[in-house]
Structure 1
Amino acid sequence: MDMLDFEEGALYFDEPLQAEAKRCLDSAAEQYGKGSAEQLLMRAYFLEPEHPIVLVALYRYFYYQHRLEEALIVADRVLKVFASRLEISEDWNQLNEMEIGGGVLISMTMTRFYMLALKGAGFLELRLGLYESALARLKKVVELDSKDRLGARALIDVAQDALRNGAGPETAMHS
């Protein structure tokens, strides 16, 4: 399946967002360097636990704060939410090209977002030194993205090199 081959459609960010959740996200952006930003993001999450904008904001916050374990939790939440929306298996290990194709029929943009979250989770696992699970996620992305439009193949090489060299979490990627 070609992950760049899609026509314009409703973007996953076009969903209406509750006014209070939007206010929380806006305030969190203004207070990014302060401890209050996380509290505002969590309030937005409790108001809109499945909204893509909220999930992306939370993911980015944790990622840029170098809180990779929390970012991975959010990435896994995205996978669960979007698997339900796309009517595909909640277990990404079970996905095949036919099933992901069914998701494309519902929404190519949501399917691409799902695939990017799966790749992102694999990348986070690389950074955390969880090479075997990272490799499994990234191989699944490549299996479903036959033309490697999402660029997961290069990350597979990193994970395989790390495993060959006996790397552990203490030598995880730090970029």
Structure 2
Amino acid sequence: MDLLDFSDCKLYFEDALPAEAERLIAQAASEYGEPAAELSLLRAHMHAPENLSVLVGIYRYYFYQHRLEDALIVAERAMQLSGRHLGLPTDWNQLDETRLGSAAANSFGLLRFYLLALKAASVVLLRLGRIAASRARLIKLASLDSRDQLGAAKLLEVVDEFQQQTDEPELTLAVA
């Protein structure tokens, strides 16, 4: 399965967004860096609680504001919503090639979104210094993406190399 082929699939941001939610997201963009931006995003979420574009906006806001615990919650929520639409198990540990194949047949674009949300959660976990939890997710992603099109195996390689260079059991990685 080519995880980089977008030629024949619908992407998450193509889903219709209620006009008020769209207005609030635009308002949040104009308020970026101000506390009011968060309120606008959360209000947009109230208008479209299952819209992935809104969740991506909230995730990005929290991530770039270094509110990593909040970003992790949003990434996991995005996985929950997309996983439910794809018929995936609620526990990402149970993912396998068969389940991915069924999900891809349902919506390839949404499956790719789900996998990238899993990777986003692992990046946040790295930033939080929760290396074991991050590695587990990256190992799962790498096992499902044999051509490493999502970059999980390469990221795992960097994490493992960094861990070998330090004697400290707790470390914090700054990932851009």
TM-score by length of 1: 0.93
Q: Residue type matched to 2:105 in 1? A: L
Answer 1 or 2: higher relative contact order, Cα 8 Å, separation at least 6: 1
User: Aligned residue for 1:10?
Assistant: 10
In 1, Cα distance between equivalents of 2:167 and 2:155: 17
C-alpha spacing 1:138/1:19, structure 2 compared with 1 (3 Å): same
**Displacement over 6 Å in runs of 4+:** none
Larger mean CA deviation between 88-97 and 157-166 belongs to 157-166
Residue 129 (structure 1) aligns with: 129
In the alignment, is the contact (CA less than 8 A) between 2:148 and 2:154 conserved in 1? no
Aligned residues of 1:131 and 1:162 also touching (Cα < 8 A): no
Assess if the C-alpha contact under 8 Å between 1:48 and 1:54 holds in 2.
Answer: yes
Question: Which aligned pairs between 1:54-93 and structure 2 lie closer than 5 A?
Answer: 54-93=54-93
Alignment correspondent of 2:153: 153
Instruction: Give the drift of 1:20.
Output: 1.2
User: Aligned partner of 1:141: which letter?
Assistant: L
What is the TM-score of this pair, normalised by structure 2?
0.92
1:163 offset after TM fit, Å? 4.4
Q: CA RMSD in A?
A: 1.5
Query: For residues 63-104 of structure 1, what are the alpha-carbon distances to aligned partners after superposition, in whole Å with 9 as ceiling and x for unaligned?
Result: 111111111111100110010011111110001011011100
**Cross-structure match for 1:112:** 112
CA pair 126-174 structure 1, distance change in 2 beyond 3 A: same
44-53 or 128-137, larger mean C-alpha shift = 44-53
Residue 50 (structure 2) aligns with: 50
Q: Which amino acid aligns with 1:86?
A: L
Q: Deviations over 1:42-67 (max 9, x none)?
A: 11112211101101100110111111
Question: For residues 3 and 117 of structure 1, do their structure 2 counterparts lie closer, same or farther at Cα, with a shift above 3 Å needed?
Answer: same
Q: Measure, in 2, the Cα distance between the counterparts of 1:37 and 1:18.
A: 18
The AA in structure 2 aligned to 1:128 is L
Give the number of equivalent residue pairs.
Answer: 174
Distance 1:6 1:30, change over 3 A: closer
